[in-house]
Structure 1
Amino acid sequence: MLLSQALDARSDLTDLNRQHPDLAARFVQLRDQLDQPAGTFDSADGSEDIDALAARQDRAVRDRHRLARDFAQILADIRALAGFDSFALPPTPGELLAEADQGPIVVFNVSRYRSDALLLTQSGITHVELPQLTVAALTEQVDAFHRALRTATSGPDKTERRQAQAVMAQVLQWLWDAAGPVLDALGHHRQSSADADWPRVWWAPGGLLGLLPLHAAGYHTDPVDDPGRRTVMDRVISSYTPTVRALRHARQHASVPDKPAQGLVVAMPTTPGLPDQGCLPHVSSEVSKLHQHLPKLTLLLEPDSSDDGALVSSAHTPTKDNVLDHLPSCSIAHFACHGASHPTDPSKSWLLLHDHASDPLTVASLAQVRLDQAELAYLSACRTAAIDTADLIDEAIHLTSAFQLAGFPHVVGTLWEIDDQIAVTIADAFYTHLCTPTGALDTSRAAWALHQAVREVRDGHDLPGRLDRTHIPFLWAAYLHAGA
C-alpha cells in the first residue's frame, strides 16, 4: 500500500503541466508535503509536559489527514478534466502484463492454505502450485539459514563455521526443490551458452520468502560443465521487484544515456561512533577501482580519523546533506559503507555516513529527492535489502526499494553482511562487465553484469587455483539486482 501510494504520487506530470499548470503545481505541492517523513513526537529536551506533547501529536495527525483529503480532492479535480481520467490510477491488467515483454515476472503467494507462483508472461497469467513451499517448511528453512549465516560469518570455531556453511548450502538446495519448478514451467531447463543472450526472470517473493536468496537457489556442487546444472544462476539472470507496478515505474525512468556517466562515490573507510571506528580496510581499494571505471566522478570520502580535518573540505565529507545535494545530478551512485536495517520501522533503515548519529540518511530521506539523471545505485553496504521483523515482513520498504522508488531504474543491494574484500572483487567485476566493447558504461547491462560478477566469485575465477566457494554461499549469494 505504501509503495502504491508513492507510485501514484510520482506519475508523469508533463501533459498536466502543459495544459493546466496551476493544478499541476498544487498537485506537486500536496504530493511533496505527503512525501515528507511524519517525524517523531518526543520532547527534545524533556521539558514538554504530556498534555502539550499529546496536543502536538493530535495536530500532526489532523494535518496529515487534511493533506490526504486535499490530495484526494486534487486527484478528483484532475481526473474530471478531458483526457486525464486515468491520471495517477493503477495500471490496468493489460498494462501490467506488458511488463513481461522483457522476461517473465514471478509473483509468489505463500499461505497456510496452499502456495503458488503466479507467472506473468507475454502469453498471459498462469500459475504453478508449489506443494513443498509450505508456511511451516519456509519458516523452518529461513530460521535455519539465518542462524547458520550468523555462525558462518562470526562463529568462534572453524569447525562450527564449516558446518554452518553446509547448512546454508542445504537450504539453497531445499529452495531449489521447493521453487525450482517455476523455471521448468517457464521452459528454462538448461544453461545457455556463454555467447548467447541469457533469459531473464523478475522475482517478486514477498513475505518470508524475501529473506532467502531466490537467485542463488540450487545445487551448486553439481559439476560446472553440466548443462543441466540445477541452480537458478546457471539458467537465468535474476532481478527483483517488490511489485509489478514498481518494475513499471523503474522502466519508465530508464533511458539510454546520451553522455558519459557522472558518478557519485560515497566512501566510508571508517565510521564515527562505531566500535573500532567501523573500519572497512578495503574501501580504499574499492575507490581505486571505481576511479578506473568511472572517469567522471565526485568522491565524498570520510576523512582519516587521525587527521584534524583541516585539510578536508566539508563539501566533500560524506554527510546526508552532501549526498542529497549530489544525487540529482549523478547517473551512477556508489556507496561503500556500513548499512543497517531498522528493527521496527523499515523506513528508518539507513546508510551509515559521517553524520549518521545526528542526521542519518534513511529510506525516508530519499522521498524528497527527484532524480532525473539517475541510472544506477550500487549499495556496497550490508543489509540494504533486508527486513528483520516478522511483523513487518510484508513491507517491501528497505534501502534497495527506496532507491528504486526515488528514481534509480537499477539498484544493486545486499541481503546480509558482506565480506569487505569480496565486495571489492564483485564491484570491480561488475563495472568491468557493465562496459560495452566501445568502452562506454551501459547501465542497462546492470543485471547481467552483476550476474556475471557473482558467478565468477562463486566459481573462484578471481583467484589462482580456482578456490571453490560453492560451499561458502555467504560470500557471494547476498548480492541482488532490483529494477529494470
Structure 2
Amino acid sequence: MPIFLNSLSLRLRAYYTLTGKVEILEEGLRLSKQALTATPVTSPTFPALAGNRASLLSLHYSLTGQVTTLEDAIQLSQEALRYTPIGDQKRPKFYHYLSVFLCMYYDRTSEMASLSEAIRLSREAYAGTSDGSPAKADYSACLADCLFSRYRRINNLSDLKEAIATALISTIKAPSEHPRLPGMLDTLASCLMSRYDRNRKMADIDEAINIGQRVLDTTHTGIIYREGWISNQIVRLRTRYLIAMEGPELDQAIRLGSKTIALPITDTHRRAYVLFNLGVCQAVRGDKNALVSFNSAWNLPDVAPLLRVAAAGKCLTLLYAAGRHEEGMKLGFEILNLLPSVHTPSLQQGDEQEVMSTFAGIASELCALCIEKEEPEAALQSLEQGRAVIIGQLLSDSKDVPQLSKDRPDLAQRYEALTREVGAPTSSLTTLMRSNAVKRRRSEAMKALNDCLREIRDIAGYERFLLPLEQAEMHQCVDNGVVVVVNVTNMRSDAILLTAKDVRSLPLPDMSISKVKEWTGRDWKMKKRSEWQRTNHDFSKYLAWLWDVCVKHVVHAIENIHAPSPHSRPKVWWIGAGYANSMPLHAAGMHNGKSKDNAYDRLISSYTPSIKALAYARKQASCAMESRDTDCMLIATMPSTPKSLDEKKKPNDLPGVVHEAAEIVRVAGSNIMATVANGPSVEQILTALPTCRIAHFACHGTSDVTDPSNSSVIMQRKADNGTLEQDRLTVHQISNLRTERAQIAYLSACSTAENKATKLQDEVLHVVSAFQVSGFPHVVGCLWPAGDEQCVRVATKFYSLVLSPEGDKINREPARALRDAVMSLRDEDAEMPLLWAQFVHYGW
C-alpha cells in the first residue's frame, strides 16, 4: 500500500507542475504523508518515500512562502540521505534534493552556511553520477544555480565562470523534452547577464535576452516556475533599454509584467519579484503604477522579508515625490519594525551584513520624510532605529548583559546560553547531514529567548534592556555639547541638532544631491607626488563647499545655543547619514590666510556611529576615570610588514614608527608603564589589550571593500616554515573584546575610520568603531592614508596634551587634544589638507 500511495503522489506532483492546481498538490501531500507514516525507517523504500514528500513540501513552500514547510522538506531530505547506504546509486539523487532545498532556504534567509552546504552537496551529486546518466543535466543545473547565488553574494569571478560552464553543460545534456530545460536555460541567461555587467559586451546581453525569450515561448501559463523566468526576463529587457535609453525593450518588459500580474498567483515569492521588477520599469517610464506594483509586493503574505523591504524602500521615494509624506512615514516605520524579525542573534557575521545591506538608506529616507512633516524627534528616532544596527547589538551585549550578570545571574546565564544556541554556526556542525533537529531546536531557542527578554524587561530598571535609547536618554548624552546629524538623501538635505534640551532641524537647501555625489565620488588618494598640489587644491575646494552649504549653517545655529568664547569652543559629535556618511565634516571650511571660517577654529569635533554608541562611550569614560588601577600603555609598532598572499608586493616600510614610539614613551614619562611591542602577533595584542589604559598602534591598516568586519590593523606572526606572515587584527576580533579600564585607542594607521562597503555605509563598521565597542571611550583613527612623518608629529603632540605633566593621569578631553595637534600641523601647510585632515576622534 505505501508504494501505491507514493506512486500516486508522484503522478499528482507531475500533474501539479503542469497545471498549478492547488488541490492536486494538497492531495499529493496527503497521500505522501500516508505512505511515509506507514513505512518504517529501516525499510529499503523509506528514503525514496521521504525524498518524494520533501519534493512535494518544497512545491508547497513555493506556493505559500511558509518557511516551516521548507524546513520540513530539508529535514526529510536529510533523513533520506541518512538511511541510504554509502555507495548506493540513489545517494546522488538525495544529495541533489537536499542541495536544491538548502539553496531555497538561502534565498529566503541569506544564511551563507546553507548555500555553502548546497554547493558541497551539488558537487557530490554531480561527481557521483556517470556522464551518460539522464540525471547529469539536473545535477549540473543545480550546481550552476548554487554557484550563481554565491557569485551574487561575494562577487567571485571564478564562481561565475564555473556557473556558466555548468549551466551550459546542463542545457546540452538535457533533451528538448526535459521538463526542467526551461529553468536550465534561464539560469544560463542570468549568468550571461552577470558576465555582461562585468565586461559590458553586448553579445552577452543579447544572447541572454534571446535565451530568456526561448524559455517563455516554450512554456505555458500555470507552470509554477514561469513567473520567476518572467521576472528575470523583465530585468534583462530593462537593462538592455537603459544602455541607450531608447528602443522597445522597456515597453516589452512592462507589457510582460502587466500581463503576468493579471493572472492568478501560482507562487507568491516569484510573484513578488515580478511586481518588484515591473515597478522598477514603470518608475523608469515615470508611470504612477510603479507605486502600486511596489506596494503590492510589500503587502504579499509570506514573502521573504528582505524582498518586501526592497519593495517598500522604493515606495518611500515615490511617496515623497507624490507629496504623501504622512503615508511614507507610516510605511517607513513599518519597514524598520520588521528589522528585529530578520536581524536576529541566529545570524552569523556575513549573513548579518547581507541582511543590513537590504535596509541601506531606508532610515535616512524615513528621516527626510519626518523632517518634511516637521517632526525632528521622529527623524532622530528613525536614524537610531535603522542605522548602526550591528554596532548597536554589539554595544547592548557589552553594556546591558554584564550589569544583568551582577543583579540577576540566573537570567543572565539563561540569556547568554540561548543566544549562543541560536547563534551557533551551522557550518561548523555536521548536523546538516544528520537531521533538521538542530535548526528546529534553534527556532525553539529563539522563542525561548524572546520569553527570556520579556521576563528581563519586567524587572525594575531593565525595562529598556537591549532596546534603543528613549528621547530623554538621548538628551542626557549631550549635556556638554551638541550631536549634529547631517542627513543627505535624494529627497532633501538637513542637519538635526540634539542638545540637552531639545531637537531641532536645519534645512540645507544648497547641499544638492548631485554635488554631494560628485564630491564624495572623487578618488582623493595622492598617488604621484607630482599630483599632490593639484589634488590638495581640489580637496580644499571640497572643504570650502562643504562649509558654505552645510557646516557654516550648523556652526551659526550652535553658536546661538552656546555663545562662543576665546577659550571655550562648542563640542560637537558628528553623525553622517545617507550620502553624508563619509564626508569630512570636522575639516570643512577655508584654511588659507587668517580665516576663521572653518570647523577647526570654531568647534571641538568628534564623531560617533550613533547616539547609543555615544551613551556607551560616556559611561565607559566615567568608569575608567573611577578606576584606581595603575596606568599602562601598549605601543604596537610595525616598521616592516610582510607581503600577504594576495599582494603583488609587500607594503611600504614605516621607519617613522620607531621614532613615533620613542617620542610617545618620552612624553608619557616615567610614571606610566609603557610597553613597546615591535612586530607583535594578534594573539599577543589580544592578550595585552584588556589591561591597557592606552593602546597605540603604529602600523598599516586596511579597509575591506566587501566585508568591513574584516577591515584590520596588520600585525605579523611566524608561519609553520619559520617565515613571517601577515596577522590581521580584524574588526570582528576587536569588537568581541571587553575592556573595563580602557580610555584611549590611538590608531596611527591608514584608513582605520573608513568604510568602503557602499551597501553597508549606514552600519559604520570599521576598526575605530570596533575599538569603541570593545570599551575604549576615546578612539583616534584616520579617514584615509596618512604619511609617516605626519603620524609621528600628530601623535607626539597629542600625547603631550592629553597626558598631565605628571604622566600618571589621563586628561578628559582627547578630542580637544587631537584638534590642537592637527592645528599645529595645519598651520604649517594649510594648503595640503590631505596631509593633516584625516585624523579624527570617535567617542566621548
- Which TM-score tier does this pair reach, normalised by the shorter chain? 0.7 to 0.9
Aligned position for 2:639: 269
| Structure 1: segments with no counterpart, 5+ residues | 44-51, 303-317, 461-468
- Pick one of 304, 324, 327 that aligns with 2:686: 324
Q: Does 1:78 align with 2:456?
A: yes
Q: Does 1:436 align with 2:804?
A: yes
Q: Does 1:24 align with 2:415?
A: no
Q: Output the amino acid matched with 1:427.
A: A
Higher relative CO (CA 8 A, sep ≥ 6), structure 1 or 2?
Answer: 1
After superposition, the Cα gap between the structure-2 partners of 1:31 and 1:440, relative to the gap in structure 1 and judged at 3 Å, is farther
Q: Output the amino acid matched with 2:494.
A: D
8 Å CA contact retained: 1:32, 1:368: no
Aligned position for 1:479: 839
After superposition, the Cα gap between the structure-2 partners of 1:271 and 1:128, relative to the gap in structure 1 and judged at 3 Å, is same
Q: Point out the more displaced range, 125-134 or 200-209.
A: 200-209
Q: Give the C-alpha shift of residue 79 in structure 1.
A: 1.8
Q: Point out the more displaced range, 321-330 or 22-31.
A: 22-31
Q: Point out the more displaced range, 433-442 or 362-371.
A: 433-442
Q: Give the C-alpha shift of residue 264 in structure 1.
A: 0.9
Partners of 2:574 and 2:819 in 1: CA distance: 14
After superposition, the Cα gap between the structure-2 partners of 1:250 and 1:61, relative to the gap in structure 1 and judged at 3 Å, is farther
Aligned position for 1:173: 544
In the TM superposition, 1:23-422 aligns within 5 A as 23-30=411-418, 68-144=446-522, 147=523, 149-150=524-525, 153-155=526-528, 158=530, 160-179=531-550, 180-187=552-559, 192-193=565-566, 196-221=567-592, 223-224=593-594, 226=595, 229-255=596-622, 256=625, 258-273=628-643, 275-276=649-650, 278-294=652-668, 295-302=672-679, 318-355=680-717, 360-422=728-790
Aligned position for 2:398: 10
SS for the counterpart of 1:210 is coil
After superposition, the Cα gap between the structure-2 partners of 1:66 and 1:336, relative to the gap in structure 1 and judged at 3 Å, is farther
8 Å CA contact retained: 1:173, 1:219: yes
Q: Output the amino acid matched with 1:340.
A: T
Q: Give the C-alpha shift of residue 449 in structure 1.
A: 0.6
Q: What RMSD over aligned residues (CA atoms) do the two structures have, in Å?
A: 2.9
Q: Give the C-alpha shift of residue 59 in structure 1.
A: 9.4
After superposition, the Cα gap between the structure-2 partners of 1:132 and 1:39, relative to the gap in structure 1 and judged at 3 Å, is farther
What does the per-residue CA deviation read over 1:81-131, in whole Å, with 9 as the maximum and x for residues that have no partner? 455333332221011111121101001221111111110012300010011
What does the per-residue CA deviation read over 1:61-97, in whole Å, with 9 as the maximum and x for residues that have no partner? 8787666555433222222345533333222101111
SS for the counterpart of 1:292 is helix
Partners of 1:234 and 1:216 in 2: CA distance: 10
After superposition, the Cα gap between the structure-2 partners of 1:214 and 1:80, relative to the gap in structure 1 and judged at 3 Å, is same
Partners of 1:376 and 1:210 in 2: CA distance: 24
Partners of 1:69 and 1:359 in 2: CA distance: 39
| Structure 2: segments with no counterpart, 5+ residues | 1-388, 718-723
Q: Give the C-alpha shift of residue 396 in structure 1.
A: 0.7
SS for the counterpart of 1:133 is coil
Q: Give the C-alpha shift of residue 360 in structure 1.
A: 2.5
8 Å CA contact retained: 1:27, 1:71: yes
Q: Output the amino acid matched with 2:799.
A: Y
8 Å CA contact retained: 2:484, 2:498: yes
Q: Give the C-alpha shift of residue 248 in structure 1.
A: 0.3
SS for the counterpart of 2:463 is coil
Aligned position for 1:49: none
What does the per-residue CA deviation read over 1:114-153, in whole Å, with 9 as the maximum and x for residues that have no partner? 1111100123000100112222211101123xx2x22xx2
SS for the counterpart of 1:369 is coil
After superposition, the Cα gap between the structure-2 partners of 1:357 and 1:174, relative to the gap in structure 1 and judged at 3 Å, is farther
TM-score computed with the length of structure 2 as normaliser = 0.49
Q: Output the amino acid matched with 2:639.
A: P
Partners of 1:14 and 1:99 in 2: CA distance: 21
Partners of 2:713 and 2:556 in 1: CA distance: 39
Higher strand residue share: 1
SS for the counterpart of 1:234 is helix
Q: Point out the more displaced range, 84-93 or 434-443.
A: 434-443
Aligned position for 1:424: 792
Aligned position for 2:63: none
Q: Point out the more displaced range, 407-416 or 348-357.
A: 348-357
Q: Output the amino acid matched with 2:637.
A: A
What does the per-residue CA deviation read over 1:402-461, in whole Å, with 9 as the maximum and x for residues that have no partner? 11111100000100000011100000000001122554442422101100000000012x
Q: Output the amino acid matched with 1:176.
A: W
Partners of 2:716 and 2:751 in 1: CA distance: 18
Greater CA radius of gyration, 1 or 2?
Answer: 2
Instruction: Give aligned-pair identity as a percent.
Output: 35
After superposition, the Cα gap between the structure-2 partners of 1:39 and 1:182, relative to the gap in structure 1 and judged at 3 Å, is farther
Q: Output the amino acid matched with 1:186.
A: I
8 Å CA contact retained: 1:349, 1:398: yes
Q: Give the C-alpha shift of residue 374 in structure 1.
A: 0.9
Partners of 2:685 and 2:613 in 1: CA distance: 24
Q: Give the C-alpha shift of residue 213 in structure 1.
A: 1.1
8 Å CA contact retained: 1:116, 1:128: yes
Partners of 1:59 and 1:109 in 2: CA distance: 46
Partners of 2:737 and 2:421 in 1: CA distance: 13
Aligned position for 2:820: 452
Q: Output the amino acid matched with 1:270.
A: S
Size of the aligned set, in residue pairs, is 438
